[in-house]
Chains A and B, each alone.
Chain A
Amino acid sequence: EAQVTQNPRYLITVTGKKLTVTCSQNMNHEYMSWYRQDPGLGLRQIYYSMNVEVTDKGDVPEGYKVSRKEKRNFPLILESPSPNQTSLYFCASSRGGGTSNYEQYFGPGTRLTVT
């Protein structure tokens, strides 16, 4: 089954304790992205990756890191989480880039609470 998986689905942590949210897709997609969803703000793009070793900032990259060492994986790293990073996080993937921008397939979401 074609899918995007995220782990963990729920996480409660404390300020300053480094954490990683994993994302993996099995569709051989080049493009992957992370979003956060907050009430009234919709989805905001944190980082995206056009392909292995190619990443770029979205609209709200502060406080986050990403890496793309393998095509299927795109982990999101919070080096020192703060309460304002409490949010619902979605990973997504899509075909290509290049001259055509395709629809994204989303993971189930990770609800993060930072106390």
Chain B
Amino acid sequence: AQKVTQAQTEISVVEKEDVTLDCVYETRDTTYYLFWYKQPPSGELVFLIRRNSFDEQNEISGRYSWNFQKSTSSFNFTITASQVVDSAVYFCALSEEWAGYQKVTFGTGTKLQVIP
């Protein structure tokens, strides 16, 4: 069975600090996809990144970067020079596909508070 663990329930940082959100996953599949979503205080869920299991390249998008390591089953998310607008709950998710079916498992989320 697939599982996603976000061990950090809440993190507080001061504005301009860097912060890393951890995500550890379990899956028996060799083909799978990992995602990060952001849920700001307004409540909507916003897609941030998608990564497949065959692509271990790290990715950078502005102040956001992602470190995917299959050896440790981790897909960590780093925000550089955090800003108040980064305050949100961040979810990591895992999607497996087998026999034409596609199940998605989310982690329990990490609430990030950026203090001005």
A59: interface (CB < 8 Å)? yes
Total chain A interface residues with beta-carbon distance under 8 A:
29
Q: Chain B contacts of A103 at CB under 8 A?
A: 35, 47, 50
Q: Does A31 contact B (CB under 8 A)?
A: yes
List the B side residues contacting A90 at CB < 8 Å: 45
Q: Do B104 and A45 touch (CB < 8 A)?
A: yes
Choose, from A18-26, A62-70, A71-79, A105-113, the stretch at the interface: A105-113
B69 to chain A, nearest CB (A): 20
**In the bound complex, CA of A55 to CA of B83 (Å):** 41
**Interchain CB contact under 8 A, A97 and B102:** yes
Chain B residues 26-62 with CB under 8 Å of chain A are 31-33, 35, 43-45, 47, 50, 52
Residues of B within 8 A of A40 (CB): 9, 108
The yes or no answer to B97 lying at the interface (CB within 8 A) is yes
From known contacts A90-B45, A108-B44, A109-B43, infer whether A101 and B97 are also in contact, taking CB-CB under 8 Å.
Answer: yes
Within 8 A of B (CB), among A12-62: 31, 33, 35, 40-45, 48, 50, 56, 58-59
Whether A45 lies near B35 (C-beta < 8 A) is: no
Shortest 7 CB-CB contacts between residues of A and residues of B: A42-B108, A106-B45, A101-B95, A43-B106, A103-B47, A101-B33, A97-B102
> Would you give 14 A-B contacts (Cβ < 8 Å), ordered by A?
A40-B108, A42-B108, A43-B45, A43-B109, A45-B103, A50-B100, A56-B101, A58-B103, A88-B43, A98-B97, A101-B95, A103-B50, A104-B47, A106-B45
